[in-house]
Amino acid sequence: MNKYKALVVRETDDGFTREIETVGRDFLPDNDVLIEVKYAGLNYKDALSASGNKGVTRNYPHTPGVDACGLVSESRDERFKPGQEVIVTSYDLGMNTNGGFATYISVPGDWIIPLPQGMSLKDSMIMGTAAYTAALALHKMEQCGQNPEMGEVIVTGASGGVGSMAVSILKKGGYRVIASSGKTEYYDWLKDIGAKRCVNREEVSDDSTRPLLSTAWAGAIDTVGGNTLSTLLKRCGRNGSVATCGLVASPEFETTVFPFILNGVNLLGIDSAETPYSLRKEIWKRLATDLKPDTLEKMVKWVSLEEIPSYMDEILEGETTGRVVCVIQNP
């Protein structure tokens, strides 16, 4: 491979440009494994990277894309053979290493998960970092004692990528799910993918100064942050877990110690990017088996590489639903 096609974000005097370009192999880093990308999932972080967010990507030109899957093309790592089906998500892919919105990526072997049995390449990208994050959240909650008998679990930002996967994964895990969403027109869809009932996101944002409120859920997966996270803690039942994944409303939140010392609530931090490899493999295995959503095809929009920039704008506006996956080349 001497040349390949990529979405390239460039920094100019007037801001950041996003164009599909044909670039030379030297645009890629020289890592041990070259992968021919088949599908790449779109995440909120990719849109931040493409708009010049230096907290995500320091240097440009750059190709975003934190989720990719495909076939090993060349390998200096004996664990991987040409033709092997693999998944790469998170670590530094798409942040400061050129990412998945391209026909090739070059990554260290330690970032690669062999495609688990029971999962197709398409499945892996419909799920991507979104499902991985949601499954990691549930895994940690269960390690802290969460179980379906404790009662309903609420998911915030439920129509988004992580949120919709969390709804579907919790349902698969035997939980009754409350979906909190700002998009009432998507309530039927949320029920279709696993929610027992839906609530408006405003109901999960309490403006009182009361440190605790009557119990409304037994646990939560939160993608929103801010006052929503404060409210989730105030209204969580005894010994329940609240997993914090995202910050679409705000990275800041206020709380008191009372949910923790009077109700035994656990606040769990979810960091999908740097999970140890053995745990990462275990979570992907669960996503291929006991936590694999039954509703994947209802949760995806397939798009071309050329369409990705406009979906990046939509995801920043909170307007996308489910997962947007780019077909890089048909297998």
Ligand X SMILES: NC(=O)c1ccc[n+]([C@@H]2O[C@H](COP(=O)([O-])OP(=O)(O)OC[C@H]3O[C@@H](n4cnc5c(N)ncnc54)[C@H](OP(=O)(O)O)[C@@H]3O)[C@@H](O)[C@H]2O)c1
Contact residues for ligand X, defined by CB under 6 A = 43-45, 129-130, 133, 157-163, 181-183, 201, 223-224, 245-249, 270-273, 315, 318, 320
Contact 118, 288 (CB under 8 A): yes
- Could you tell me the smallest distance in angstroms from the CB atom of residue 100 to ligand X? 14
- Decide whether 55 or 83 has the Cβ nearer to ligand X: 55
- Could you tell me the smallest distance in angstroms from the CB atom of residue 162 to ligand X? 4
Distance CA 33, CA 142 (A): 35
By Cβ distance, which residue is nearest to ligand X? 160
- Decide whether 100 or 160 has the Cβ nearer to ligand X: 160
- Could you tell me the smallest distance in angstroms from the CB atom of residue 134 to ligand X? 9
Q: Is residue 52 classed as helix, strand or coil in its secondary structure?
A: coil
Q: Which of 142, 21, 34 is nearest to 83 (CA)?
A: 34
Report which secondary-structure segment, H or E, holds 194: none
Contact 327, 303 (CB under 8 A): yes
Q: Which of 233, 242, 240, 230 is nearest to 155 (CA)?
A: 242
- Decide whether 230 or 272 has the Cβ nearer to ligand X: 272
- Decide whether 77 or 313 has the Cβ nearer to ligand X: 313
- Decide whether 45 or 286 has the Cβ nearer to ligand X: 45
- Decide whether 237 or 318 has the Cβ nearer to ligand X: 318
Structure tokens at 327: 């077909």
Distance CA 120, CA 135 (A): 18
- Decide whether 75 or 133 has the Cβ nearer to ligand X: 133
Instruction: Tell me which residue has tokens 């877990």.
Output: 241
Structure tokens at 84: 């092997």
Neighbour-count burial of 257, counting CB atoms closer than 10 A to its CB (0-12 exposed, 13-18 middle, 19+ buried): exposed
Structure tokens at 298: 């209802």
As a three-state string, the secondary structure of 269-329 is ECCCCCCCHHHHHHHHHHHHCCCCCCCHHHHEEEECHHHHHHHHHHHHCCCCCCEEEEECC
- Could you tell me the smallest distance in angstroms from the CB atom of residue 330 to ligand X? 25
Q: Point out which residues pair with 24 in neighbouring strands.
A: 3
Between helices 121-143 and 277-288, what is the axis angle to 10°? 110
- Decide whether 37 or 270 has the Cβ nearer to ligand X: 270
